[in-house]
Amino acid sequence: MSTRILVVFYSATGNTAELASSLAEGARDAGAEVRLRTVAETAPAAAIATNPRWQAYVDAGPHAELATLEDLTWADGLAVGSPTRFGGPAAQLKAFLDTTGGLWAQGKLADKVATSFTTASTAHGGLESTLLAINNIFYHWGAIVIPLGYAHPQLMDTGNPYGGSFVSRKSASPDKEALGALRIQGHRLATITGYVAAGLRTAG
């Protein structure tokens, strides 16, 4: 049975979506079955209209199917990504994660392997605080948190050990270093999830 990986992201202007796609490709490279999902846009139309890039991204959608609770129960491992919003994850993503209380209460999120990724517009604008805030949810689930670390020589110069990241200066799209790091993160997530899932199946 192939390893099942869920990639869930929110994106307002496309950067996190690009990171999510690269992570998904890395997981597929490792042989995983991957579901790439987004979450509902909950911002008022008037707020979206204040930002032409946000409006254009919304108008060009939908960019992926919406994540469901069934996707979470299906997955052996997951990656969760959000743009940094005032040093934390976007409310749109949090709204979806806050629907998982029932699964949490039944222990259905325990032992999932989980990792996080983000993008911000400045290097010190809160990339790590966003990743750590997403990871806090994983701790409550009893998930097994997989950081990116410096798990590959390619990450030594530009990687972020907390999770795949991109600094989008002046609204730049993710560069090849960032996309490469996300691909490594997806491969690493799928590989480690495969080990854990096999062990859990053996343990019965």
φ/ψ of residue 112, rounded to 5? -70, 145
Q: Which is nearer to ligand FMN, 96 or 141 (CB)?
A: 96
Shortest Cβ contact with ligand FMN: which residue? 125
CA–CA separation, 20 vs 16, rounded Å? 6
Q: Which is nearer to ligand FMN, 14 or 180 (CB)?
A: 14
Beta strand pairing call for 77-83 and 113-120: parallel
Instruction: Dig out the tokens for 91 from the structure.
Output: 């409310």
Q: How far is CA 134 from CA 35, 97, 129, 143, 190, in A?
A: 19, 9, 9, 12, 19
Provide the minimum distance between the beta carbon of 100 and ligand FMN in the complex, in angstroms, as a whole number: 22
Q: Mask 43-82, x = binds ligand FMN (CB under 6 A)?
A: ----------------------------------------
Q: Determine which residue in the list 5, 8, 15, 21 makes contact with ligand FMN, applying CB under 6 A.
A: 15
Is residue 147 involved in binding ligand FMN (CB under 6 A)? no
**Cβ-contact 72, 6 below 8 angstroms:** yes
Is residue 85 involved in binding ligand FMN (CB under 6 A)? yes
CB-count exposure of residue 94 (10 Å: 0-12, 13-18, 19+): middle
| Element (DSSP H or E) covering residue 38 | strand 33-38
Residue 93: name the closest of 133, 48, 52 by CA. Answer: 133
Q: Which is nearer to ligand FMN, 179 or 197 (CB)?
A: 179
CA–CA separation, 84 vs 151, rounded Å? 24
Report the site for ligand FMN in 16-45 (rule: CB under 6 A). Answer: 16
Report the site for ligand FMN in 98-137 (rule: CB under 6 A). Answer: 119-122, 125-126
Contact stretch for ligand FMN (CB under 6 A) within 84-92, 109-117, 178-186, 192-200? 84-92
Is residue 94 involved in binding ligand FMN (CB under 6 A)? no
Which residues bind to ligand FMN, rule: CB under 6 A?
11-16, 83-87, 119-122, 125-126, 168
